[in-house]
Amino acid sequence: MRKGTGGSPPFATVGFCPPNTIARRNMPQTSIAPDAGIESDVSQLLCQARQSLGGEKLPKDWHHQDGSNDNSQALGRLLQLYRNYLTILATTQLDRRLRRRMSPSDLVQDAMLAAHRDFRSFRGSSEPELLCWLRQILVNCLRDAIDMHLNAQKRDLRREVSIEQVGQSLDKSACQLANVLADRGPSPSEPARRRERAVELADQLAKLRPEYRDVIVLRNLQGLSFNEIAERLDRRPGTVRMLWLRAMDKFKQTYEQPQA
Protein backbone atom coordinates (compact mmCIF):
# COMPACT_ATOMS: atom_id res chain seq x y z
CA MET A 1 0.00 0.00 0.00
CA ARG A 2 1.36 3.37 -0.89
CA LYS A 3 2.29 6.05 1.59
CA GLY A 4 1.71 9.59 0.46
CA THR A 5 4.25 12.34 0.20
CA GLY A 6 1.95 14.91 1.78
CA GLY A 7 2.20 13.52 5.32
CA SER A 8 0.90 10.21 6.61
CA PRO A 9 -2.76 10.40 7.59
CA PRO A 10 -3.92 8.89 10.88
CA PHE A 11 -5.24 5.34 11.19
CA ALA A 12 -3.54 3.91 8.05
CA THR A 13 -2.28 0.37 8.65
CA VAL A 14 -1.32 -2.59 6.52
CA GLY A 15 -2.02 -6.25 7.17
CA PHE A 16 -2.57 -9.53 5.38
CA CYS A 17 -5.15 -12.27 5.63
CA PRO A 18 -4.63 -15.50 3.71
CA PRO A 19 -7.56 -16.12 1.37
CA ASN A 20 -10.13 -18.78 2.14
CA THR A 21 -11.72 -20.84 -0.59
CA ILE A 22 -11.33 -19.04 -3.94
CA ALA A 23 -14.56 -18.64 -5.85
CA ARG A 24 -14.83 -19.50 -9.52
CA ARG A 25 -14.94 -16.73 -12.10
CA ASN A 26 -17.13 -15.84 -15.12
CA MET A 27 -20.19 -14.39 -13.40
CA PRO A 28 -23.66 -14.46 -15.02
CA GLN A 29 -24.74 -11.05 -16.26
CA THR A 30 -27.81 -10.68 -14.08
CA SER A 31 -28.82 -8.60 -11.11
CA ILE A 32 -30.07 -9.39 -7.63
CA ALA A 33 -32.69 -7.11 -6.14
CA PRO A 34 -31.79 -5.67 -2.71
CA ASP A 35 -33.52 -7.40 0.18
CA ALA A 36 -35.21 -5.07 2.65
CA GLY A 37 -35.33 -7.60 5.49
CA ILE A 38 -31.66 -7.67 6.46
CA GLU A 39 -31.05 -9.56 9.71
CA SER A 40 -28.15 -8.93 12.07
CA ASP A 41 -27.44 -12.47 13.27
CA VAL A 42 -24.73 -13.58 10.85
CA SER A 43 -24.36 -17.09 12.23
CA GLN A 44 -28.08 -17.70 11.91
CA LEU A 45 -28.11 -16.38 8.35
CA LEU A 46 -25.17 -18.59 7.40
CA CYS A 47 -27.04 -21.59 8.76
CA GLN A 48 -30.26 -20.60 7.00
CA ALA A 49 -28.45 -20.09 3.69
CA ARG A 50 -26.83 -23.51 3.89
CA GLN A 51 -30.07 -25.20 4.91
CA SER A 52 -32.01 -23.54 2.11
CA LEU A 53 -29.44 -24.63 -0.46
CA GLY A 54 -29.16 -28.12 0.97
CA GLY A 55 -26.86 -30.52 -0.81
CA GLU A 56 -28.46 -30.23 -4.19
CA LYS A 57 -26.98 -28.48 -7.19
CA LEU A 58 -28.62 -25.19 -8.11
CA PRO A 59 -30.63 -25.27 -11.34
CA LYS A 60 -28.95 -23.53 -14.28
CA ASP A 61 -31.79 -21.04 -14.54
CA TRP A 62 -31.96 -20.17 -10.82
CA HIS A 63 -31.02 -16.54 -11.49
CA HIS A 64 -33.98 -16.12 -13.82
CA GLN A 65 -36.48 -16.99 -11.11
CA ASP A 66 -38.61 -14.33 -9.45
CA GLY A 67 -36.58 -14.18 -6.24
CA SER A 68 -39.38 -15.58 -4.07
CA ASN A 69 -37.70 -18.95 -3.49
CA ASP A 70 -35.98 -19.70 -0.17
CA ASN A 71 -32.57 -20.05 -1.81
CA SER A 72 -32.48 -16.46 -3.04
CA GLN A 73 -34.07 -14.96 0.05
CA ALA A 74 -31.86 -16.56 2.72
CA LEU A 75 -28.61 -16.11 0.83
CA GLY A 76 -29.62 -12.69 -0.46
CA ARG A 77 -30.17 -11.38 3.09
CA LEU A 78 -26.76 -12.69 4.13
CA LEU A 79 -24.85 -11.12 1.24
CA GLN A 80 -26.63 -7.78 1.54
CA LEU A 81 -25.04 -7.36 4.97
CA TYR A 82 -21.69 -6.89 3.24
CA ARG A 83 -22.54 -4.75 0.22
CA ASN A 84 -21.34 -1.55 1.93
CA TYR A 85 -18.15 -3.26 3.12
CA LEU A 86 -17.31 -4.50 -0.38
CA THR A 87 -18.10 -1.07 -1.82
CA ILE A 88 -15.49 0.50 0.47
CA LEU A 89 -12.89 -2.01 -0.70
CA ALA A 90 -13.80 -1.49 -4.35
CA THR A 91 -13.47 2.27 -3.90
CA THR A 92 -9.85 1.85 -2.83
CA GLN A 93 -8.94 -0.22 -5.88
CA LEU A 94 -10.55 1.56 -8.82
CA ASP A 95 -8.09 4.16 -10.07
CA ARG A 96 -8.90 6.81 -12.67
CA ARG A 97 -8.28 4.43 -15.58
CA LEU A 98 -10.81 1.89 -14.36
CA ARG A 99 -13.31 4.48 -13.09
CA ARG A 100 -13.79 5.65 -16.67
CA ARG A 101 -15.20 2.19 -17.46
CA MET A 102 -16.98 1.10 -14.29
CA SER A 103 -17.98 2.28 -10.82
CA PRO A 104 -17.32 0.63 -7.44
CA SER A 105 -20.98 -0.39 -7.33
CA ASP A 106 -20.60 -2.16 -10.69
CA LEU A 107 -17.66 -4.16 -9.36
CA VAL A 108 -19.52 -5.03 -6.16
CA GLN A 109 -22.58 -6.15 -8.09
CA ASP A 110 -20.41 -8.59 -10.05
CA ALA A 111 -18.93 -9.85 -6.79
CA MET A 112 -22.36 -10.30 -5.19
CA LEU A 113 -23.54 -12.30 -8.18
CA ALA A 114 -20.47 -14.52 -8.07
CA ALA A 115 -20.85 -15.08 -4.31
CA HIS A 116 -24.52 -15.97 -4.76
CA ARG A 117 -23.68 -18.42 -7.51
CA ASP A 118 -20.67 -20.02 -5.81
CA PHE A 119 -21.78 -20.01 -2.19
CA ARG A 120 -21.45 -23.78 -1.93
CA SER A 121 -17.69 -23.41 -2.36
CA PHE A 122 -17.52 -21.47 0.93
CA ARG A 123 -16.36 -23.78 3.74
CA GLY A 124 -16.13 -21.33 6.64
CA SER A 125 -18.47 -20.93 9.59
CA SER A 126 -17.73 -17.43 10.91
CA GLU A 127 -18.01 -13.83 9.77
CA PRO A 128 -14.21 -13.28 9.48
CA GLU A 129 -13.97 -16.35 7.23
CA LEU A 130 -16.88 -15.09 5.15
CA LEU A 131 -15.23 -11.68 4.78
CA CYS A 132 -11.99 -13.28 3.54
CA TRP A 133 -13.96 -15.32 1.02
CA LEU A 134 -15.89 -12.29 -0.23
CA ARG A 135 -12.70 -10.26 -0.54
CA GLN A 136 -11.15 -12.97 -2.72
CA ILE A 137 -14.21 -12.93 -4.96
CA LEU A 138 -13.83 -9.16 -5.27
CA VAL A 139 -10.18 -9.68 -6.27
CA ASN A 140 -11.27 -12.08 -9.01
CA CYS A 141 -13.88 -9.64 -10.29
CA LEU A 142 -11.37 -6.79 -10.31
CA ARG A 143 -8.90 -8.88 -12.31
CA ASP A 144 -11.66 -9.74 -14.77
CA ALA A 145 -12.44 -6.03 -15.12
CA ILE A 146 -8.77 -5.25 -15.78
CA ASP A 147 -8.60 -7.99 -18.39
CA MET A 148 -11.76 -6.73 -20.07
CA HIS A 149 -11.18 -2.99 -20.05
CA LEU A 150 -7.48 -2.21 -19.97
CA ASN A 151 -5.75 -4.81 -22.14
CA ALA A 152 -2.16 -3.54 -22.57
CA GLN A 153 -2.10 -1.97 -19.10
CA LYS A 154 -3.43 -5.01 -17.30
CA ARG A 155 -0.11 -6.59 -16.31
CA ASP A 156 0.97 -3.59 -14.24
CA LEU A 157 -2.48 -3.15 -12.73
CA ARG A 158 -2.89 -6.82 -11.85
CA ARG A 159 0.29 -6.58 -9.78
CA GLU A 160 -1.29 -3.70 -7.88
CA VAL A 161 -4.40 -5.67 -6.85
CA SER A 162 -4.13 -6.00 -3.09
CA ILE A 163 -7.65 -6.17 -1.72
CA GLU A 164 -6.63 -8.67 0.94
CA GLN A 165 -4.16 -6.15 2.33
CA VAL A 166 -6.71 -3.36 1.97
CA GLY A 167 -9.30 -5.53 3.69
CA GLN A 168 -7.06 -6.15 6.69
CA SER A 169 -6.10 -2.47 6.74
CA LEU A 170 -9.79 -1.61 6.82
CA ASP A 171 -10.35 -3.99 9.75
CA LYS A 172 -7.58 -2.35 11.80
CA SER A 173 -8.23 1.21 10.68
CA ALA A 174 -11.92 0.84 11.48
CA CYS A 175 -11.13 0.09 15.12
CA GLN A 176 -8.72 3.02 15.34
CA LEU A 177 -11.09 5.45 13.66
CA ALA A 178 -13.97 4.29 15.86
CA ASN A 179 -11.82 4.77 18.98
CA VAL A 180 -11.05 8.35 17.97
CA LEU A 181 -14.71 9.07 17.32
CA ALA A 182 -15.73 7.42 20.59
CA ASP A 183 -14.35 10.46 22.44
CA ARG A 184 -17.03 12.57 20.78
CA GLY A 185 -20.00 10.25 20.86
CA PRO A 186 -21.54 7.07 22.25
CA SER A 187 -19.93 3.71 21.67
CA PRO A 188 -21.52 1.33 19.17
CA SER A 189 -24.53 -0.65 20.34
CA GLU A 190 -24.11 -4.12 21.79
CA PRO A 191 -25.42 -5.90 18.64
CA ALA A 192 -22.89 -3.94 16.56
CA ARG A 193 -20.05 -5.03 18.85
CA ARG A 194 -20.76 -8.62 17.94
CA ARG A 195 -20.06 -7.89 14.31
CA GLU A 196 -16.79 -7.06 12.62
CA ARG A 197 -15.96 -3.41 13.32
CA ALA A 198 -15.01 -2.79 9.69
CA VAL A 199 -18.47 -3.86 8.54
CA GLU A 200 -20.07 -1.49 11.02
CA LEU A 201 -17.83 1.35 9.82
CA ALA A 202 -18.69 0.64 6.19
CA ASP A 203 -22.40 0.83 7.02
CA GLN A 204 -21.86 4.21 8.69
CA LEU A 205 -19.83 5.54 5.75
CA ALA A 206 -22.59 4.43 3.38
CA LYS A 207 -24.85 7.07 4.94
CA LEU A 208 -22.60 9.85 3.62
CA ARG A 209 -22.62 11.52 0.22
CA PRO A 210 -20.43 9.54 -2.23
CA GLU A 211 -17.74 12.25 -2.44
CA TYR A 212 -17.49 12.38 1.37
CA ARG A 213 -17.29 8.62 1.66
CA ASP A 214 -14.65 8.34 -1.05
CA VAL A 215 -12.32 10.97 0.40
CA ILE A 216 -12.47 9.41 3.89
CA VAL A 217 -11.75 5.97 2.48
CA LEU A 218 -8.81 7.20 0.41
CA ARG A 219 -7.34 9.41 3.15
CA ASN A 220 -8.02 7.62 6.42
CA LEU A 221 -8.27 4.00 5.38
CA GLN A 222 -6.09 3.65 2.30
CA GLY A 223 -3.46 6.11 3.50
CA LEU A 224 -3.11 8.39 0.47
CA SER A 225 -1.79 11.94 0.58
CA PHE A 226 -3.96 14.86 -0.50
CA ASN A 227 -1.91 15.11 -3.69
CA GLU A 228 -2.54 11.45 -4.48
CA ILE A 229 -6.25 11.78 -3.73
CA ALA A 230 -6.42 14.86 -5.94
CA GLU A 231 -4.94 12.86 -8.81
CA ARG A 232 -7.33 9.98 -8.18
CA LEU A 233 -10.40 12.24 -8.02
CA ASP A 234 -9.19 14.72 -10.65
CA ARG A 235 -9.38 17.68 -8.25
CA ARG A 236 -6.97 20.24 -6.79
CA PRO A 237 -5.14 19.21 -3.57
CA GLY A 238 -6.51 22.25 -1.70
CA THR A 239 -10.05 21.35 -2.75
CA VAL A 240 -9.51 17.77 -1.62
CA ARG A 241 -8.29 18.91 1.79
CA MET A 242 -11.37 21.06 2.35
CA LEU A 243 -13.59 18.23 1.13
CA TRP A 244 -11.95 15.86 3.61
CA LEU A 245 -12.46 18.28 6.51
CA ARG A 246 -16.16 18.62 5.68
CA ALA A 247 -16.46 14.85 5.22
CA MET A 248 -14.89 14.09 8.61
CA ASP A 249 -17.15 16.60 10.32
CA LYS A 250 -20.23 15.06 8.72
CA PHE A 251 -19.03 11.54 9.50
CA LYS A 252 -18.60 12.40 13.18
CA GLN A 253 -22.16 13.72 13.24
CA THR A 254 -23.41 10.53 11.58
CA TYR A 255 -21.45 8.30 13.94
CA GLU A 256 -22.82 10.12 16.98
CA GLN A 257 -26.42 9.47 15.98
CA PRO A 258 -28.06 6.75 18.09
CA GLN A 259 -28.12 3.33 16.46
CA ALA A 260 -31.60 2.30 15.31
State pLDDT tens for residues 204-213: 889 999 899 9
Average pLDDT over residues 249-256: 84
H/E stretch holding 128? helix 127-149
SS3 label, residue 112 = helix
Residue 165 pLDDT: 61
Report d(CA 198, CA 173) in Å as an integer: 8
Say how many CA atoms lie within 13 Å of 16 toward its Cβ: 4
Most confident of 28-42, 170-184, 227-241: 227-241
Rounded to whole angstroms, what are the CA distances from 219 to 59, 69, 146? 44, 42, 24
Give the DSSP letter of residue 59.
P
Rounded to whole angstroms, the Cα distance separating 114 from 29 reads 10
| Helix, strand, coil share of the chain (percent; to 5) | 65, 0, 35
Question: Across the chain, what does the average pLDDT equal?
Answer: 69
Q: Which of 22, 34, 36, 28 is nearest to 62 (CA)?
A: 28
Give 163's pLDDT tier (boundaries 50, 70, 90): low
| Per-residue pLDDT band at 6 (split at 50, 70, 90) | very low
Residue 82 pLDDT grade (very low, low, confident, very high; cuts 50, 70, 90): very high
- Cβ atoms of residues 135 and 89 within 8 Å: yes
What type of residue sits at position 227?
A: N
Are 92 and 211 contacting, i.e. CB atoms less than 8 angstroms apart? no
Q: Tell me if 83 sits within 8 A of 76, measured CB to CB.
A: no
Average pLDDT over residues 11-19: 33
Q: Residues 155-179: what's their mean pLDDT? A: 56
Looking at per-residue pLDDT, the higher value among 4 and 130 belongs to 130
Q: Give the model's confidence band at 246: pLDDT under 50 very low, under 70 low, under 90 confident, else very high.
A: very high
Residue 129 confidence (pLDDT) above 60: yes
Q: What is the reported pTM?
A: 0.65
Task: Please give the average per-residue pLDDT across 122-141, as a whole number.
Answer: 87
Give the DSSP per-residue string, 77-95: HHHHTTHHHHHHHHHHH--
107-128 pLDDT per residue, tens:
999 999 999 899 988 888 888 8
Nearest to 49 by CA among 139, 149, 133: 133
Q: Contact, 89 vs 82, CB < 8 A?
A: no
Q: What is the rounded CA–CA span in Å between residue 45 and residue 10?
A: 35
Return the percentage of the chain with pLDDT > 90, whole number: 18
Distance between first and last Cα of the chain: 35
